[in-house]
Structure 1
Amino acid sequence: MEVENLDFYDAFKDFMVRNKKQLLRKKNSFLPPLFSFSKTLYKWYNLIIGVLIIVVFYLISEDSNQQNILKKIHLGLWYGILIFTILQGIYTFLIIRKRFAYIEKTTFWLVIIFYIDQLFNGAYKNFYGNFFSVGITLFLFIAFLIYFAKAILKFNPKIFVR
């Protein structure tokens, strides 16, 4: 702007003419949140959570009533995903009254986690999952919650501090 002696409007217009196709392609892609979410699965804190889930599930597997426990964990995951989605929608649309495309695309991957869980574990009444599949779903859900909180903090660092 200073070199070419342009005001903001003219500089912005020139920028948009040159980069509009690339920006629109990037806007409509769901892959960047997937790649950034998948990179966080190997962070030290997520690995610790994964190990804790394995240990807890191993201890639960020694119980004779393990199928009932798995059903309850599976149901808890279902309610957790449902409650999180409702709270995120209420906060976004009713409290701050702003939409963030990146956050909405990130929440799309939560829906994918839910459907993967349904595919491998079935519904609550027709539960056919095992510790491995429920454990992976639980790990992905907890990792997603951490990732989502970090994404929110990136956009608004003051959000959790009042």
Structure 2
Amino acid sequence: MKLSKEEIKFIDTYLESNEVIYSDIRQEMVDHIASAVEEKMELEREDFYHAFKSYMLVHKKDILKNNKKRWSFSWEAICQFLLFLVKPYMVIFGVLLFFFFKNVNVNLYFSEDFTLKNLFFVLVLTAILFQSGYIHFYLKKRFYTVEKTAVILAIIYYGHLFFFPVFGTEQVSYWTLTVFSFLFFGYVVFFIQELIKFHKHRFNYI
């Protein structure tokens, strides 16, 4: 017995009210719950409301627990990013960055008023503002596949705060410049690729 659009929407609204905030995760859960409720209605000759209520009474805790595990912290995104960084074209890009920073002292182009640390802060802040604006003003919905990469950007940001000199008079080593330039620009390319993959499946979500 297939559920109506109104009944599927009811399940979606129910999950959203229980803090399943990401539309793509919610869609997976809706599909799973709808299939289970349809089977329950068929086998036990119940109407939608009673079948849904009895199913959620048993499975709600496990379903919502799974949701919290997925959006609290994303090791999956970090692993995907690390695998992306060792792709041949990224390795070549990293080598080119290394030789560039080793042979060009970019510290000479910065002063105490605007340091390399300030530049990286501006770059990371720009990326954060772009992602936030893209989600809130363009997508207007939250998607796990888009937001899961934010943890990578946070690691890069806090890493640059720790490894870059506190005072503008100190020079940044070419190793530090290579690593953080590689991570930041690698993240930008990785995020764009994730967006492209996301948009191929975007309209499958409610």
Q: TM-score, normalised by structure 2?
A: 0.61
- How many residue pairs end up in the alignment? 151
Quote the residue 2:98 is aligned against. Answer: 54
Q: Structure 2: how far apart are the matches of 1:86 and 1:124?
A: 26
Asked whether the equivalents of residues 75 and 124 of structure 1 are also in contact (C-alpha less than 8 Å), the reply is no
Say whether residues 1:31 and 2:71 are aligned partners: no
Quote the residue 2:190 is aligned against. Answer: 147
Quote the residue 2:89 is aligned against. Answer: 45
Unaligned runs of 5+ residues in structure 2 are 4-30, 38-51
Quote the residue 1:100 is aligned against. Answer: 143
Superposed CA deviations along residues 81-106 of structure 1, whole A, max 9, x for unmatched, are 11111122112111221212232231
Q: Structure 2: how far apart are the matches of 1:126 and 1:11?
A: 64
* Amino acid across the alignment from 1:59: N
Say whether residues 1:11 and 2:55 are aligned partners: no
Superposed CA deviations along residues 120-145 of structure 1, whole A, max 9, x for unmatched, are 11346364531111210000001101
Which of 103, 113, 136 is the matching residue for 2:156? 113
Paired-residue identity, %:
21
Unaligned runs of 5+ residues in structure 1 are none
Larger radius of gyration: 2
- Across the aligned residues of Structure 1 and Structure 2, the Cα RMSD in angstroms comes to 3.0
Task: Name the SS of the counterpart of 1:122 in structure 2.
Answer: coil
Q: TM-score, normalised by structure 1?
A: 0.76
